[in-house]
Amino acid sequence: MPEGPSVRKFHRLVSPFVGQQVVKTGGSSQKLCPADLQALWLQDTQVHGKKLFLRFDPDEESGPSGNNPLSEPLQKGARKEESRAQTWTLEPTGQKISNQSLKSTELVEGESSEFSGGAIAAENTERWLQVSFGLFGSIWMNEFSRAKKANKRGDWRDPVPRLVLYFGGGGFLAFYNCQMSWSSYPVVKPTTDILSEKFHREQALQALGQAQPVCYTLLDQRYFSGLGNIIKNEALYRAGIHPLSLGSLLSPSSLESLVAHVLKFSTDWLQGKFQGKQQHTQIYQKEQCPAGHQVMKEAFGPPGGFQRLTWWCPQCQPRLPPEEPEQV
């Protein structure tokens, strides 16, 4: 599923439509009738970790609440991009954003459920639509996703969006491979969001210090919301830590280095997205590390949990506690 930087980019695509009315809807959803969103006004949008929240209201208001979850340094780096996004809403071709190039191995529980919660209760004054993206989830603006290759049957069929929202300003948004559910308020906790300036480092360090492999803790959204498989692999390699090293055996300086690399890689990735640059990885999906050593790959995950493919260098990332020599 898309990681924090990708979802923040989706947030930037949606933001220009805040304050506009939905005039037409479409999509393949059978869990919720897309027509229920017709005539509603998009009043606000927020992001937390890997989730996007959209607030709809039946009446036009003076404007959104103005809550921008991006930290100030990232806002400055994104102003130029946001300005272009405002222009794209008037163009028929628009800008497309897809994470299909990010070949993450993460899964979403219950991905087959497109929507849940049914129609919006009429008495609710604030209506938040929570969007959780699947493995290749994406949002496209002012154009639809096109097939990049033939399917197993040899057909070139374009992906079908789960939801399409056409706005009064002339643009539209297409949501692909995602789960959606209604809630009365967005579930936002900046202290755990790796791209928030309010991220709580001490809380993260305490979680990493547990007597379990650090690669399990890094993917725990309770402590590192927005962190996914790509960030996990890159941060561990750059900190020189084996993915199965027990956090309780790592020194405080090693844990601090790991958190620092998580935040820096995530921030650099997001800023690169705003600038249209592809993020460079050193270990993820590589056969050799930058030092020229052969990279190992295996699926790791907690007992009974999801197993994520993990890339690491046995020489650059020694394991704690050490085991028998690893064979490449």
What per-residue confidence (pLDDT) applies to 64?
A: 52
Residues 161 and 298 placed together within one structural domain of the fold? no
- 176 beta partners: 138
Residues 211 and 290 placed together within one structural domain of the fold? yes
Q: Tell whether pTM > 0.85.
A: no
50 belongs to the catalytic site = yes
Residues 138 and 208 placed together within one structural domain of the fold? no
The total domain count for the chain is 2
Q: What is the DSSP string of 78-133?
A: HHHHHHHHHHHTTSSS--EEE-TTS------TTTT--EES-SPPTT-SSEEEEEEE
Residue 317 lies in a domain: no
Choice among 8, 50, 127, 273 that is catalytic: 50
Residues 279 and 164 placed together within one structural domain of the fold? no
Residue 325 lies in a domain: no
What per-residue confidence (pLDDT) applies to 74?
A: 47
3 belongs to the catalytic site = yes
Domain assignment of residue 44, given as a range: 4-183
Instruction: Give me the numbers of helices (H) and strands (E) for the chain, helices first please.
Output: 6, 10
What per-residue confidence (pLDDT) applies to 192?
A: 96
Phi first, then psi, for residue 230 (nearest 5°) are -65, -50
Phi first, then psi, for residue 46 (nearest 5°) are -135, 160
CATH number of the domain that 208 lies in? Answer: 1.10.8.50
Choice among 2, 69, 159, 243 that is catalytic: 2
Choice among 3, 106, 114, 234 that is catalytic: 3
Residue 105 lies in a domain: yes
Final residue in a domain of this structure, among 152, 183, 214? 183
What per-residue confidence (pLDDT) applies to 107?
A: 32
Percent of the residues in the chain that have a pLDDT greater than 70, as a whole number: 78
What per-residue confidence (pLDDT) applies to 268?
A: 96
Of 99-113, 197-211, 289-303, the poorest mean pLDDT is in: 99-113
Residues 121 and 141 placed together within one structural domain of the fold? yes
